Structures are given as structure tokens and as C-alpha cells.
Amino acid sequence: MEDEEKKARRAVARSDWLIIAAILFILLTTIAMILYPGSNNWTNQTTHYSFAQNFFSDLGATRTYNDAANTASNVLFILALVLVGSGIAIFSFNSLVIACVSGKMRRLARAAIPVAMISGLGFIGVAAAPWNLAYGAHVIFVVLFTILQFANGWSRFYEIANLVYMVLLAAYLVLLFFGPDIFTMAGLTMQAVGQKIIVYVSIVNIAMQAYGIRKHVLGPTAKEAV
């Protein structure tokens, strides 16, 4: 009994860390936008960050398009990504919580762990690589997570949240590969806004999934956590 309680506490702690990391990610990147010196892919005359014309990854640049130093935003951007990346990697073990509900697809749950870790490391590595490189593993993890949820009778709310996320991601990929060119104002605006929407939706969704597991483990019908 004591061993199960320790496992449950660890599962809750992993979920809590991801939720906190997600909140800090949103807070730190918002501050980074406020501190961004200005300029974008379209013009170097602006003096602030534009939600519609600056890409999310502009926050991580050491210098802006007009060659101004971007130290504050760069540091906050990297810190935000390290926090959420480590949160996803640590949270990966909680896929076993879902498999323990009815005992189905435990092997799939274990396979999801390294995929989620790769996803988390991908977010951390965004500082040195294009941001979208983290999304391949992240999407695979969400797909595996959703399959586990359906197989084990998880709450429909969290299953639907994952499905909505995947639909939005598919729409974004269509925009990314077949949408307007970023070298037009309309194209730049659509691509920049679309990128930020999918980034924040990804973070909010994974935090919601963490909350779902936390709620399950602490609930009156909680079973063995891991």
C-alpha cells in the first residue's frame, strides 16, 4: 500500500511539474514578446514585437532583423523551452497511469515514454534548431496517448481535447506547406499567427492532459499509478 502511495505521489508530482512549466512557458514568452526590441521579416522599422508579423522563433534570436541585441527575449525564450521540454520528458512516465486503468496496451504505454522524452528534448533543442523539429515526436506521443485513452476508457473530455489538437495541427500543416508565401504581408501574417496558435495550443493541451492524470490519481477511484 505504501509503495502504491509513493507511485501515486510521483505521478502527481510529474503532472504538477508539467502544469507549472506550461504556465511559466506562457508567462515567460509573453514577457519576451514585451521585451523584444522590434523588426521582423517584413520590415526592420518596427520597435516592438508584432503578434501578426513576428514568428515565435524570432524571440530566440540573439539579434533582431535590424541587428539590435535581443538578449533578454533570447534568455527568456530558452528558459521557457527548457522548462516545458523537461516537463514533457518527466511527464512521459505518466502514460503508464492510463494503461493501469484497465490494464490494456501497457506495451504501447511504455513505448510512448521514449517518444515523449524525444519530444521534450526537441523543445529544449529548439534554441539551436528550427522550432518545428520538436513536433514530429510530440505528435506521435499525442497519438499514442489518445489511443491509450480510448483503449482504457479514459475521460472523453481529454480524448476530445487531443483530437481537436490533432485537427488544428493538421490545419496548420496545410497552412505551412500550402498556404500563402511569407514574403507577402498577408502570407506573413497568416503564417506567423498560425505558428503561435499551434505552439500555445500544444502547450495548453499537454497541460490539460497532465491535469487529467493528476485528477485521476487523486480521485476516489484512483488505482495503481505506475
d(CA 211, CA 63): 37
Which of 127, 10, 119 is closest to 73 using CA atoms? 127
Give 175's DSSP letter: H
At residue 131 the predicted structure's pLDDT band, cuts being 50, 70 and 90, is very low
On the question of pLDDT at 128 being above 60, the answer is no
Condensed to tens digits (0 to 9), the pLDDT of residues 59-90 reads 988 889 898 999 999 999 999 999 998 999 99
Domain map of the chain by residue range?
2-218
Strand partners, 69: 63
Mean pLDDT of the chain: 86
∠ Cα 206 209 214 (to 5°): 130
On the question of pLDDT at 224 being above 70, the answer is no
pLDDT at 220: 61
Flag the least confident range among 25-29, 51-55, 57-61.
57-61
Condensed to tens digits (0 to 9), the pLDDT of residues 146-169 reads 888 888 888 899 999 999 999 998
d(CA 195, CA 161): 19
Helices (H), 57-184: 71-91, 95-102, 106-125, 135-151, 156-178
